[in-house]
Structure 1
């Protein structure tokens, strides 16, 4: 099914061509017509399924057909759990809205940065992408009003509830008009989400997209036994010996991520971290540089891994093993994509060996284990 059959305007179809969108994903095929018809939608789909465009495109088209008022009453509210996702969603709205005849103003608001510029920028906003806590701060200050919201989107709703935002979400819902379109996207349908779904959605179009399995066959896995104190030098050896130009390194803590980057940079290896303690600007810049191939090493924690989607990432290194086998598969699944093989390397200390056996058993795949002392 082509995009031309989904009811989108010529301007949006041109924007899709300009951005190299060829055919709609399964979630886009169903969600776009439903949202254009102003129906409620419940979408259960993993990251990478194309869900953001599936609501951005029809919402932009519906806004083009509305009488937009230039004030502090937003028309569309998108609630997200993290600053990274807020920026990503804002960028998608802005990328597609550039081709539209009627200007659409989109703004992302989140904590961790000064609130004053956000307060000043909210005049005339049409689409507001927000994390719950900062949105409540702004509404309490009368910087934005939610009484004119026509469409509410809860993106990654499961993650929002898991991170403890339920009370904030309930407070926000109380500020919204009762008559509105509701769109809810989630990776899973948990009990908490089922409760929110029953409260929010009226006769929704339900879309369930099966999660794409990580193809372990495309990932060349190897593990090295390395003592904790020698992991730093051995990591540098691997990067230089294999002439790695783009490598994603995982650590289990913010402190360790910073320590790894400091040692790499002291040894003239260009590296940056991406984790929750970094400013939004620093995270955005690091991710952009890495995705565009201008940064050699990106060191990340598991919390930040969801935003790192690169089709042709050649190397992933586990500096430390994650707590669960599921997280291990998610980490190494950053490579071996788009039918292109990739390498996943794990540095395993002696006290991690038993845990690594458990990971291999759960994964159903044996990994070659090499003693780093034998490599010179």
Structure 2
């Protein structure tokens, strides 16, 4: 099915061609008509499946037929868990709104940077992309109003709720008009998400796109049994032996991420970290370097991994296993994208073996486990 059959305008279809979008992904194919029809939508599909464009395109179409509000109100509110995702979503709105006959102003607001420029930029905003904490600060300062919101989007809703945003979400929802379109997109369907669906969504179109086994098949998975004290030396051995030029390493905590980077740098392996304790500017610069192939190793926590979207990333390494099998699949899904093969390597300590068996069972795939000599 081509994009032209989904009800999008010629301006948007032209931009899709310019941006090398050839055909809609399954989540786009199903979501776009539902959102165009102003229905509530719950979309469950893995990261990298095109969820952002699946709501950006129809929202922009609907805005062309709306009376765009003035002053410090917005028509559309998109809530996201991280600064990086806020910037990504804003950029996609801006890319597709360029050729539209009726201008659409999009702004991303988030913490970690000065609030004053964001306050000033809110004038005339139509699409507001926000992290919950900063949005509440702006609401407390009467810098923005949400009474005219026609469409609410929760992007990465599973992570937002798991990260303890529930109280902030409840405060934000109290500012919104009851009559609105609600769109929830998530890579996974957790119990928390099911609970909030019952509160937010009205007769939603539920779209669940099964994980594409072919994309998992593109990922060569292997695990090495390594004691915790030998994981650092073995990681350096792997990177050097396999001559990895671009590798994403996942660790479980901010402290562990920084420790790994320090050891890599001391051993003359170019590495940087990305986590919630870093400034926005630092995180943006680090991601830019890594995406451009100018940084050899990026070490990240699970949350920050949500902002890393690279079509041809060759290696992902799990320095430690995540607690959730779903997070494991999300991690390794950073590679093996856009029909390009990738390698996912896990360093599994003996006491993690049982948990790794659970991950394999949930994933539906067996992973080759190798002994190490180190």
Q: TM-score, normalised by structure 2?
A: 0.89
Unaligned runs of 5+ in 2: none
Q: How do 1:315-326 residues align onto structure 2 when only pairs under 5 Å count?
A: 315-326=315-326
- Distance (Å, rounded) in 1 between the aligned partners of 2:359 and 2:199: 39
State the match for 2:265 in structure 1. Answer: 265
Distance 2:39 2:253 in 1: 42
* Residues matched between the structures, number: 373
**Rg larger in 1 or in 2?**
1
- 2:56 equivalent to 1:56: yes
Deviation at 1:141, TM superposition (A): 0.5
| Equivalent residues of 1:360, 1:367 under 8 A apart | no
Deviation for aligned residue 1:301: 1.7
Q: Map of 1:33-72 to 2, 5 A cutoff?
A: 33-72=33-72
Q: Which moved more, 1:20-29 or 1:36-45?
A: 36-45
Asked if the contact 2:275/2:300 (under 8 Å) is kept, the reply is: yes
Pairwise CA distance, 1:298: 0.8
Q: Distance in 1 between matches of 2:315 and 2:211?
A: 23
Cα distance change on mapping 1:236 and 1:120 into 2, 3 Å = same
Q: Unaligned 5+ residue runs, structure 1? A: none
Measure, in 1, the Cα distance between the counterparts of 2:214 and 2:305: 15
How many Å apart are 1:348 and its aligned residue? Answer: 4.2
2: distance between equivalents of 1:182 and 1:361? 34
What residue number does 1:249 align with?
A: 249
Aligned position for 2:100: 100
CA contact (8 A) 2:32 2:54 kept: yes
SS at match of 2:139: helix
CA-atom RMSD in angstroms:
2.6
Q: Distance in 2 between matches of 1:259 and 1:62?
A: 48
Moved more, 131-140 or 33-42: 33-42
Q: Separation in 1 of the partners of 2:100 and 2:220?
A: 45
SS at 2:125's partner residue? coil
Is the 1:111–1:133 Cα contact (8 Å) retained in structure 2? Answer: yes
- Superposition deviation, residue 84 in structure 1: 2.5
Q: How big is the shift at 1:326?
A: 4.7
Change (3 A) 1:208 1:219: closer
CA distance in 1, matches of 2:205, 2:349: 49
Decide whether the 8 Å contact of 1:214 with 1:333 is kept in 2.
Answer: no
After TM superposition, the structure 1 stretch with the greater mean CA deviation from structure 2, 24-33 or 182-191, is 182-191
Pair 222,41 (structure 1): closer, same or farther in 2 beyond 3 Å: closer
| Structure 1 residue 367 displacement after superposition | 2.1
Q: Which moved more, 1:226-235 or 1:250-259?
A: 226-235
- Contact 1:224–1:372 (CA<8 Å) still a contact in 2? no
CA contact (8 A) 2:6 2:33 kept: yes
Q: Distance in 1 between matches of 2:289 and 2:298?
A: 9
Q: Is the 8 A contact 2:271 2:296 kept in 1?
A: yes
Separation (CA, whole Å) in 1 of partners of 2:337 and 2:170: 39
Contact 1:214 1:329 in 2 (8 A): no
Task: Pick closer, same or farther for the CA change 1:122–1:251 going to 2, 3 Å.
Answer: same
Give the Cα separation in 1 of the matches to 2:194 and 2:223: 41
d(CA) in 2 for partners of 1:362, 1:32: 30
Aligned 8 A contact 2:246 2:295 in 1: yes
1:372 aligns with 2:373: yes
Distance 1:234 1:164, change over 3 A: closer
Map 1:68-217 → 2, pairs under 5 A: 68-213=68-213, 217=217
In structure 2, distance between residues paired with 1:35 and 1:115:
32
